[in-house]
């Protein structure tokens, strides 16, 4: 599929080159130039920053970056999906806490079109080999930016905001709430955009172990703002409840960014019952809300919440629900059971046993649910007709799918690494229990002991 | 809406209570040459015709429009492009402006910086070494550029 640009014939450009006359478009009024540039693909725009000073400052201006995003987002007839895929070898290695330095995480953009689901672009992964856990967790995508967190299994604080189209990234500084400062905790992370202040934010909901039993008190909240480049602990208190980090073996999706707010499934302990509800955080105003979930009686640990158009979808006990009217809890409607016709939802299984059941991975623009089958094959299923389509792609675990829009976000930032560039420095001391040591070879084990007992304390004393 | 500037003129006329019944009202368009105007009128008529023919089928409209646009581009000379863009901009003819801007974008997207400068009549005004630094930082964006 092409980028839908009309083709000027070869003779047009050849004529132009061979003509000694003046250039074609030298008398162009200044307001026309952005109209032309905004229609260029990202690679060409980046190249054009080298044309002259005027072009460079135009392209890097926040106004143009916003205009480019708006133009990119309204090309609705050719929506894109970002896939993060792991090979079978890589997934197995990560699940067994083994380092596999050969296999790379794959990041690819596909056209979200039933007639042509081909690949539009694939990205070189610049952080290969830097993950302590083996693969990064994709927190979410927003306006062409991808937020990565290296927190799959261990306490680790390597957060990255990355624009793969223009190869720019920002590595976040360490957050305030860590194992070494606050003790054990459970945390969930979200990534969103504040359209009022044109700022991107990373939000952490942290439930501290030393505060008592989970679900009885509100979590601590820490927010990183790209504009300030810093983390800040929020004064305002969220509603009581715990937003547990659920690893991929249990739950298919962590957060949903919709209508300017982040949504997580939270747990609350009320009397003797454990209740699920949706914790909502407005990224702009930084205020909290709640939305009730259907089936209050059963607290399903495997509930997962998803962005679905302008509203939310919920997967609970293999059933797919959609909230027809955003924020109106009574409009939750059961749409489909995913446990039939051979497409069955993942039931929580202990790590390492190898999920043989299929799992939901995301939604297409037109609302079909994308499912990863037990053998790795990715399919999409129409919610009305229940028709299944083979997408021709495979993922073997840790698969991420999200809608994507090409943008120039981060172009006005230099590539930033946090002060300590070593991924290891983000690994928290002592805790990160190496449970499955038998999978490591002796050399790895000895290295890890060395790191934990000697190198880490030394490095963190350097960065204090 | 096509030719918004012209529509605006009619609206203004109505407001001024001038007899607008005449079908021979003359609308001054000082900033548009007759030749690009003729092309734009043809483009507009064609667009409306295709739309009418494929009333319900948006995809068909798009496909036919694309075919027509390719044909049109074969007949347009480079020098005319500036005039067409200026005319479409002045007349506030959004579809035509979008089309011609896309055409220019496609002409330059895989070309070298030198080509682009010549195309727009620009000179490099970077300080010594500044351009080299940029080219180095964004070296990946220069891959796959067409030969001049």
* Whole-number percent of chain A with pLDDT over 70: 75
pLDDT at A156 (0 to 100): 84
Contact A46 B89 (CB under 8 A): no
Environment class of residue A403 by beta-carbon count within 10 Å: exposed (0-12), middle (13-18) or buried (19+)?
middle
Among A57, A86, A72, CA closest to A361:
A86
pLDDT at A322 (0 to 100): 94
Tell me what the pLDDT averaged over chain B comes to: 79
Residue B75 near chain A (CB below 8 Å): no
A393, A87 Cβ separation under 8 angstroms: no
Local structure of residue B143 (DSSP, 8 states)? T
Distance from CA of B9 to the nearest CA of A (A): 23
Instruction: Identify the weakest region by mean pLDDT among A230-244, A261-275, B7-21, B119-133.
Output: B7-21
Distance from CA of B22 to the nearest CA of A (A): 35
Of residues B10 and A194, more confidence is placed in A194
CB atoms within 10 A of CB A405: 21
A120, A111 Cβ separation under 8 angstroms: yes
In sequence order, the β-bridge partners of residue A137 are A149
CB atoms within 10 A of CB A419: 10
Contact A50 B131 (CB under 8 A): yes
pLDDT at B48 (0 to 100): 83
ipTM, two decimals, is 0.81
Residue A114 near chain B (CB below 8 Å): no
Contact A32 B145 (CB under 8 A): no
Chain B residues touching residue A47 (CB < 8 angstroms): 113, 138, 141-142, 145
DSSP states along A236-266: SPPPS-B-----TTT-S--EEEETTEEEEEE
| Gap between the Cα atoms of A354 and A161, Å rounded | 30
Distance from CA of A15 to the nearest CA of B (A): 8
Q: What is the pLDDT of residues B23-71, one digit of tens each?
A: 556 677 777 777 888 888 888 888 888 878 777 777 777 788 888 888 8
Query: Which parts of chain A have pLDDT scores under 70?
Result: 1-26, 76, 213-215, 242-253, 295-301, 339-357, 416-464
| Gap between the Cα atoms of A357 and A380, Å rounded | 16
Q: Report the side by side order of strands in the sheet with A319-323.
A: A304-308, A311-316, A319-323, A332-337
- Nearest by CB: B69 against A6, A28, A39: A6
Environment class of residue B143 by beta-carbon count within 10 Å: exposed (0-12), middle (13-18) or buried (19+)?
exposed
Chain A residues touching residue B131 (CB < 8 angstroms): 50
Contact A47 B142 (CB under 8 A): yes
- Nearest by CB: B148 against A17, A28, A77: A17
A173, A419 Cβ separation under 8 angstroms: yes
Residue A41 near chain B (CB below 8 Å): yes
**Which residues 21-50 on chain B approach chain A with CB closer than 8 angstroms?**
none
Q: What is the pLDDT of residues A286-305, one digit of tens each?
A: 999 999 988 656 666 678 89
Q: Which residue of B has its CA nearest to A43?
A: B141
**Which residues 294-353 on chain A approach chain B with CB closer than 8 angstroms?**
none
Global pTM? 0.82
Among A153, A155, A217, CA closest to A181:
A155
Chain A residues touching residue B134 (CB < 8 angstroms): 49-50, 56
pLDDT at A12 (0 to 100): 58
- Nearest by CB: B125 against A7, A28, A53: A53
| Gap between the Cα atoms of A404 and A145, Å rounded | 9
pLDDT exceeds 50 at position B5: yes
Chain A residues touching residue B105 (CB < 8 angstroms): 5, 36-37, 39-40, 44
Of residues B95 and A452, more confidence is placed in B95
Mutation site, A47, A53, A123, interface B, largest B CB count within 10 A: A47
Distance from CA of A14 to the nearest CA of B (A): 9
| Gap between the Cα atoms of A237 and A221, Å rounded | 8
Compute chain A's Rg from CA coordinates: 23
* Whole-number percent of chain B with pLDDT over 70: 84
Distance from CA of A365 to the nearest CA of B (A): 18
């Amino acid at each position: 599929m092409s980028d839908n640009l009309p083709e000027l014939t070869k003779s047009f450009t050849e004529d132009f080159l061979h003509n000694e006359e003046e250039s074609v478009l030298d008398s162009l009024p200044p307001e026309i130039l952005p109209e032309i540039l905004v229609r260029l693909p990202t690679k060409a725009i980046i190249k054009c920053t080298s044309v002259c000073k005027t072009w460079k400052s135009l392209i890097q201006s926040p106004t143009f970056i916003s205009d480019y995003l708006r133009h990119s987002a309204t090309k609705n007839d050719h929506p894109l999906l970002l896939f993060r895929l792991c090979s079978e070898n890589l997934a197995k290695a990560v699940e067994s806490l083994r380092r596999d330095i050969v296999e790379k995480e794959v990041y690819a953009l596909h056209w979200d079109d039933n007639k042509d689901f081909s690949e539009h672009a694939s990205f070189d992964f610049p952080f290969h080999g830097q993950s302590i856990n083996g693969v990064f967790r994709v927190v979410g995508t927003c306006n062409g930016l991808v937020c990565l967190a290296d927190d799959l299994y261990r306490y680790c604080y390597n957060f990255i905001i990355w624009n793969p189209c223009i190869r720019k990234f920002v590595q976040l500084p360490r957050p305030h709430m860590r194992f070494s400062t606050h003790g054990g905790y459970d945390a969930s992370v979200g990534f969103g955009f504040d359209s009022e202040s044109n700022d991107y934010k990373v939000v952490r909901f942290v439930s501290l172990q030393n505060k008592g039993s989970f679900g009885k008190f509100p979590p601590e909240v820490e927010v990183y703002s790209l504009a300030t480049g810093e983390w800040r602990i929020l004064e305002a208190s969220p509603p009581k409840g715990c937003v547990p980090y659920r690893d991929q073996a249990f739950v298919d999706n962590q957060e949903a960014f919709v209508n300017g707010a982040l949504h997580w499934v939270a747990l609350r302990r009320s009397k003797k019952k454990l209740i699920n509800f949706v914790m909502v955080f407005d990224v702009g105003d930084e205020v909290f809300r709640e939305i009730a979930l259907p089936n209050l009686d059963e607290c399903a640990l495997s509930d997962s919440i998803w962005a679905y158009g302008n509203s939310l979808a919920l997967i609970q006990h293999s059933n797919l629900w959609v909230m027809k009217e955003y924020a109106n809890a009574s409009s939750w409607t059961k749409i489909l059971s995913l446990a039939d016709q051979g497409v069955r939802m993942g039931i929580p299984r202990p790590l390492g046993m190898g999920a043989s059941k299929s799992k939901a991975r995301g939604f297409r623009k037109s609302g079909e649910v994308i499912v990863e089958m037990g053998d790795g094959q990715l399919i999409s299923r129409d919610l009305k007709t229940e028709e299944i389509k083979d997408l021709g792609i495979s993922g073997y675990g840790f698969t991420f799918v999200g809608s994507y829009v090409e943008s120039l976000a981060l172009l006005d930032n230099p590539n930033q690494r946090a002060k300590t560039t070593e991924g290891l420095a983000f690994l928290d001391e002592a805790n990160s229990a190496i449970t499955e040591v038998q999978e490591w070879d002796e050399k790895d084990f000895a290295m890890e002991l060395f790191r934990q007992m000697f190198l880490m304390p030394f490095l963190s004393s350097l960065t204090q | 809406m096509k030719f918004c500037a012209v529509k605006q003129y009619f609206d203004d006329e109505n407001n001024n209570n001038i007899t607008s019944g005449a079908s021979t009202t003359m609308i001054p368009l000082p900033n548009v040459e007759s030749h690009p105007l003729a092309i734009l009128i043809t483009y507009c008529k064609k667009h409306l015709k295709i739309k009418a023919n494929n009333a319900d089928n948006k995809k068909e409209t798009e496909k036919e429009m694309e075919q027509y646009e390719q044909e049109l581009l074969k007949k347009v000379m480079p020098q005319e492009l500036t005039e067409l863009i200026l005319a479409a901009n002045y007349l506030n003819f959004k579809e035509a402006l979008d089309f011609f801007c896309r055409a220019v974008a496609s002409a330059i997207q895989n070309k070298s910086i030198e080509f682009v400068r010549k195309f727009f009549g620009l000179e490099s005004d970077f300080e010594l070494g500044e351009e080299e630094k940029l080219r180095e930082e964004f070296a990946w964006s220069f891959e796959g550029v067409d030969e001049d």
